[in-house]
Chains A and B, each alone.
Chain A
Amino acid sequence: MIEAVQKAGQLLWRLDPILLDCVKVSLLCSLTATAAAVLMGAPVAVLLGRKHFPGRRVLVVAAHTGMAVPTVVIGLLLYGLLSRNGPLGVLSILYTPKAIILGEFALGFPIIVALFSAAAAGLDARIEMTARTLGAGRFGVFLTVVREAKVGLIAATMSAFGRLCSELGIAMMLGGSIKHHTRTMTTAIAMETSGGEFTFALALGLVLLLVALGVNIAAQLFRLPAQRRHPDVL
């Protein structure tokens, strides 16, 4: 085990090109999918968290259920849609990073909606009225709610990114683990381990841990102390 860790360290130190390719594909897919999930999920979350309308509870339950869907199920459903005979087969994106991004978006979107809507719902009820009376339009009010719940949004984003970065089912089913093309860290770990390349798999595991550490450090840095001075002040 110690020997394997040492070898993994060497692979990382040498910046092994195959290892770097896996890291690159993983980060590209999970960062793009997380960004898309935040951009599209935040307005839905604010709507669910701040407005009362018929069917709202059903949507909240659906978002929470979406968080618990196994990644292989998402992979399977999208495989059916994206395969050559499927309704979206004309897009020809199966076994490309785009398919992985789409699948990871489907996984990340409910996480953002469920976690951020809960954070938005916990905010003071007077925010919208205060923003409106001070002159904010609809978009301004939305941005204000997001700003007031930014700690919740950061937490939701980090949770989604962590989940997407470490998922296996979607990347395997929709990406196919093609070397230098769609092989992510998790699919590489699965394949290299089954192929007896334990050292390489361990190196990738270490990278995954470093990514998780980096994400958490970034999250803590974003949560700047509330007491900081406003830079624009006279």
Chain B
Amino acid sequence: MFCECHDILVRYGRTVVLDVQRLAIPAGHITTIVGPNGAGKTTLLEVLALLRRPTCGQVSLWGRPAEASDRELQKKIVMVMHPGYMFHGAVWHNVMYGLRARGTRRSESRLRAADALKMVGMSDFAHRNVVDLSAGERQRVNLARAVAIGPEAVLLDEPSANVDTRTVALIRNLLRRLSQEQGTTVIHTSPGNSQLHDIADRVVYIEAGRILKSDERPSDN
């Protein structure tokens, strides 16, 4: 099991943005969290990525209590934000960032960064400055720098928003490959009209910070 949440509550000031009594997401599968804007999808991902501490409640990841200070646990997860922030400089610098931060050897980092860029079809863009990229290209770099790290869980916030159909197809194939070939846990959010629903093994519906239902879907991929 990737995560088990019990009675988690997240407040921004006095406003409750997330109130999840019970949620379990299996490891190694693709899960889609569906809900309208403001439903708490991003906050839930941030909690699962150990980027936000819930006001109260318990979260365990791979059976371990989730603590923001647990660097080992944090290193297993990466969150792809929407819209993703690109560090100033070249595409290459962005893809290498996570590998450097995790202390990966330089020679290995270079190979992994090159592989990740190839996976998202951005090999020819390594030298480009990120300010010169389109929204779709930025999203692909955003994915490449997450994939380069080789995480055990990838959490993506609305990965298909504001990108063209070609990029959506690429994201779909990439997520499927990550799940099926590498056993990576993939969780992505969607406002409800995403073209990535059909690859999900499980769909979790959320509204006003509460989980409405969780459906397991027959795997056909």
Contacts and interface: CB of A to CB of B under 8 A. Distances in A.
User: Which of the listed residues A129, A135, A137, A148 has the most CB atoms from chain B within 10 Å of its own CB?
Assistant: A135
B49 interface: yes
B149 interface: yes
Interface stretch (A55-63, A104-112, A159-167, A226-234): A226-234
A132 interface: yes
A234 B99 CA distance: 15
A130 B149 contact: no
B51 A129 contact: yes
Interface in A159-216: none
A133 B49 contact: yes
B206 interface: no
A133 B88 contact: no
Interface stretch (B8-16, B90-98, B174-182): B90-98
| A contact face: mostly helix, strand, loop, or mixed | loop
A6 B32 CA distance: 78
B58 interface: no
B85 A230 contact: no
A134 B71 CA distance: 11
A127 to B, nearest CB: 6
Contact of B74 (A126, A127, A132, A227): A132
B131 A226 contact: yes
A131 interface: yes
Interface in B120-173: 126-127, 129, 131-132, 145-146, 149
Contacts of B129: 226-227
15 contacts: A126-B81, A127-B85, A129-B51, A131-B101, A133-B51, A133-B74, A133-B78, A133-B79, A134-B98, A134-B149, A136-B97, A148-B88, A229-B90, A230-B90, A233-B92
* In the complex, the 9 A-B pairs of residues with the closest C-beta atoms, listed nearest first: A134-B98, A135-B101, A126-B85, A135-B102, A230-B90, A136-B101, A233-B92, A133-B79, A130-B85
Interface of B: 46, 49, 51, 71, 74-75, 77-79, 81, 84-85, 87-90, 92-93, 96-98, 101-102, 110, 113-114, 126-127, 129, 131-132, 145-146, 149
Interface of A: 124, 126-127, 129-137, 140, 144, 147-148, 226-227, 229-230, 232-234
Given A129-B85, A133-B79, 7 more contacts: A133-B49, A134-B97, A135-B149, A137-B71, A226-B88, A230-B90, A233-B126
